[in-house]
Amino acid sequence: MKTRFMAILMMTLALLIGAGAAMADDKQPLLLILTSGDTQTQGMALVLSNEAQRQGAEVRVLLCSEAGKLALREHEAPTLKPRDISPKQMLETLMQGGAKVDVCALFLPNLGKTQEDLLLGVSAAKPPIITELLLDKKVRLLNF
């Protein structure tokens, strides 16, 4: 009787652990496409993305046009009230939380820059991968 109870207990624990792992893997994917050069717009997009990440979303960021400059090592972004933090710092926080960040494929060559000019961990986007995300009905899209 005791062995049967232990077997049932072990199976129940295995099911609970498996369900917890499945829920952990079931993160809501979010793609932020940020093109605006406006500091407040960049800030709001990144505030929402950081909050989504804190709430369990799997965040991916595509920076294009003026917003791509946030990914450049040399770029200095102004800070925003009330926390006195810049959009670039918000982007770095997002990356520390596990977000994948890319610049548009056209960004570097048209600015005369290379991969070495980007923040560590940022790369040039591969259009087929981004297109796959855009076509995935499970991916939420934020566009600023």
- Please report the pLDDT score of residue 6 as a whole number: 44
- Please report the pLDDT score of residue 69 as a whole number: 98
> pTM for this structure?
0.82
- Please report the pLDDT score of residue 1 as a whole number: 57
CB of 30 closer than 8 Å to CB of 49 = yes
Q: Report the Cα–Cα distance between both ends of the chain, in Å, rounded.
A: 62
Alpha helices, H only, the chain: 2-25, 39-54, 87-96, 107-111, 127-135
- Asked whether residue 8 is domain-assigned, the answer is no
Report how many domains make up the chain. 1
Range of the domain at 49: 27-143
- Please report the pLDDT score of residue 16 as a whole number: 45
What DSSP element (H or E) covers 60?
strand 58-63
- Please report the pLDDT score of residue 10 as a whole number: 46
| 69 CB-near residues (< 8 Å, 6+ apart) | 37, 75
Low-confidence ranges of the chain (pLDDT < 50): 5-24
Residue tagged 């609970």 (tokens): 16
CATH code of residue 137: 3.40.1260.10
